[in-house]
Structure 1
């Protein structure tokens, strides 16, 4: 199953069929509106009108606006999954590999910052969105933790805190950095990437190599 379909199965009320025209129209309409308004300002009636479907069709697929906003994040989820795969393969020089991963995350947000900002709103508004987001994040964290254990056992990574705890904290730092970037706060993009690469490399390998 593709990452996109896997994500959709997590957030949709119904089984997702490839090429479902009404669902895609609803998400396209929501994406369009989020370029103009915040998630709180968008209303379901306008989403449905722009999609050319009834209001009841929206609720056929999505429990509420926050869940629909989460469905829009399939591209970011896929990018995060791909970036995690690059990281855990542990191929090449550590700093180069980590920079590639961090850059990919920033790229995914830069492609659609309005949807990431909507996710932040959705997470604040919906406990279910927070739960689903954390489920996906916990999966990534355990993959990173397994990589840390493997690298330590091979003598490439330094000893340090519990691997699972370290992975979660480093992902927390990533989340905070990406959030600040999406909202226009914090350092410039390249400085942010430099700092995150430095932090990850030192934390895992003990040097900025």
Structure 2
């Protein structure tokens, strides 16, 4: 995962590399340690001691950067959602983009984000069952996705490009999108092979196109 560390233009031009502050290194070490530990145990089982031992820092230093391990998980999930948004670019269908290509951009591209960040996203999805703050943040991000997809479905239906099986476009989008999110969660929790993931995506695409009412997915 990228640390988000960059160099100034003047440093690059002069051949100098920016000196990374010690605090920045320690903070990233905590994030990396927590994400690595998720490969060995659940987020609930991880202790602050586990994190500080893995990061090679003292316990007081942990609390200088984070109030709790839940805050670390929330940040990792936030970073993953940001990468998800950047990879997709827009949840609206591009001019000339077929519905089949629209699905591929939304969800095949999304899956490429889930794969390297699977541990954090799986743990984050599970944490929505007990962490109110993370649940609220995840719901907020979901709502933005639902609204934009429902708006696109309505525009396509009004243009006569699709015939959705329900006039309740918002609820239809919520149902299908939640199914896709759960499929991604299961895929990463089980660490499916690329071949198994490809079959999952093909099945989701067939369901998505039918739910969208794309009588001719090529248009």
- Shorter-chain TM band: 0.7 to 0.9
Q: CA RMSD in A?
A: 2.7
Counterparts in 2 of 1:22 and 1:167: CA distance versus 1, 3 Å: same
- 1:45 maps to which of 43, 46, 49: 49
Which structure: larger Rg? 2
Question: What is the distance in 1 between the residues matched to 2:72 and 2:60?
Answer: 14
Gaps of 5+ in 2: 5-22
**Does the CA-based 8 Å contact 2:33-2:54 persist in structure 1?**
yes
Gaps of 5+ in 1: 5-18
Q: How many residues align?
A: 192
Question: Which residue is 1:9 aligned to?
Answer: none
Q: Once the two structures are superposed, what CA deviation does each residue of 1:24-69 show, in whole Å capped at 9, x if it has no partner?
A: 2221221222233221221112313443444344344444323311
Counterparts in 2 of 1:62 and 1:138: CA distance versus 1, 3 Å: farther
TM-score by length of 2: 0.74
Following superposition, the deviation at residue 124 of structure 1 comes to: 2.7
**Does the CA-based 8 Å contact 1:84-1:144 persist in structure 2?**
no
Of 132-141 and 197-206, the range deviating more from structure 2: 197-206
Q: Secondary structure at the match of 1:125?
A: coil
Question: Which residue is 1:11 aligned to?
Answer: none
Matches within 5 A, 1:119-138: 119-138=124-143
Question: Which residue is 1:169 aligned to?
Answer: 175
Whether 1:35 and 2:39 are equivalent positions in the alignment is: yes
Whether 1:202 and 2:210 are equivalent positions in the alignment is: yes
More helix by share: 1
Counterparts in 2 of 1:89 and 1:66: CA distance versus 1, 3 Å: same
**Does the CA-based 8 Å contact 1:35-1:114 persist in structure 2?**
yes
TM-score by length of 1: 0.77
Counterparts in 2 of 1:37 and 1:185: CA distance versus 1, 3 Å: closer
